[in-house]
Homo-oligomer: A and B are copies of this chain.
Amino acid sequence: MARPRTARLSREIIGRAALEYVEAGHELQLVPLARRLGVSVSSLYHHVDGRDGVIRAMRQVLVTEYIAVAPEHTDWESRIRSEVELTWRMYADHPRALELMLTVVIDEPDVLRFYSALAAALGDAGLPEDEILTTIEVIDAFTFGAALDALSPEAILDPERSGELLGPLLRAHPSGAERNRRVFDRGLDFIIAGVRSRAAARG
């Protein structure tokens, strides 16, 4: 009974299971992951290239699930917003997976698609050509950072010991997903406004 009639495993099955497992709060370990799949550890090696391969499989699952092509006909602002929103949500919904993905190199096709869509939109916005790439990288960096914000603990500071200025503000401040969402929205607003002003200044 070493080889079942229908394959128990696949890259996708492993990636999906690992995603569930990690997002449930566990560390990514192959032994319990294999047990969860009802399979021996060494079986995993027939489908993915070790632990890093599992992480890449996780990423692949996320990308196919979240990334859709944005409609070409809408205005540049909506295109940027929807594009960045998708990427952000992909990460922010799976912050623990994101943490693992910091170490593995990202597939080039993904990056190319993301960069191309943003470059086209920024070109339409009227941004000077030599500012396009840096602006994309700013967007990239912010999206990443905003998603990682979901990893920080609920209450970062104790309102009682944060002084007269910060204390009351912290008490009125949302936490968790709500805080995370506001950070993303506000930052994206800043970026969009920045692009608009840069484009106007070109004259």
CB <8 Å contact, A123 and B165: yes
Q: Nearest Cβ in chain B — how far from A140, in angstroms?
A: 7
Q: Nearest Cβ in chain B — how far from A169, in angstroms?
A: 5
State which of A2-10, A39-47, A189-197 sits at the interface with chain B.
A189-197
For chain A, the bracket of interface size reads: 35 or more
| Contact A137/B115 with A102-B99, A172-B130, A193-B193 known, Cβ cut-off 8 Å | no
A149 closest partner in B (C-beta): B141
Q: Nearest Cβ in chain B — how far from A128, in angstroms?
A: 11
Set of chain B residues within 8 Å of A169, measured between Cβ atoms: 119, 129-130, 132-133
Of the candidates B99, B131, B142, which one forms a contact with A145 in the assembled complex, judged by CB atoms under 8 Å apart?
B142
Interface residue? A111 (CB, 8 A): yes
Set of chain B residues within 8 Å of A120, measured between Cβ atoms: 165
Interface residue? A1 (CB, 8 A): no
Set of chain B residues within 8 Å of A143, measured between Cβ atoms: 145
CB <8 Å contact, B189 and A137: no
- In terms of DSSP, what is the predominant structure of the interface of chain A? helix
Q: Mark A144-175, 1 if CB is under 8 A from B, else 0.
A: 11101101110011100111011001101100
Interface residue? A202 (CB, 8 A): no
Interface residue? A64 (CB, 8 A): no
CB <8 Å contact, A108 and B187: no
| CB pairs A–B below 8 angstroms (26 shown) | A99-B102, A106-B152, A112-B157, A115-B162, A115-B166, A116-B165, A116-B166, A129-B169, A130-B169, A130-B172, A134-B186, A137-B179, A138-B142, A140-B145, A140-B149, A141-B145, A141-B146, A141-B148, A142-B146, A144-B144, A144-B148, A145-B148, A190-B193, A190-B194, A193-B197, A194-B194
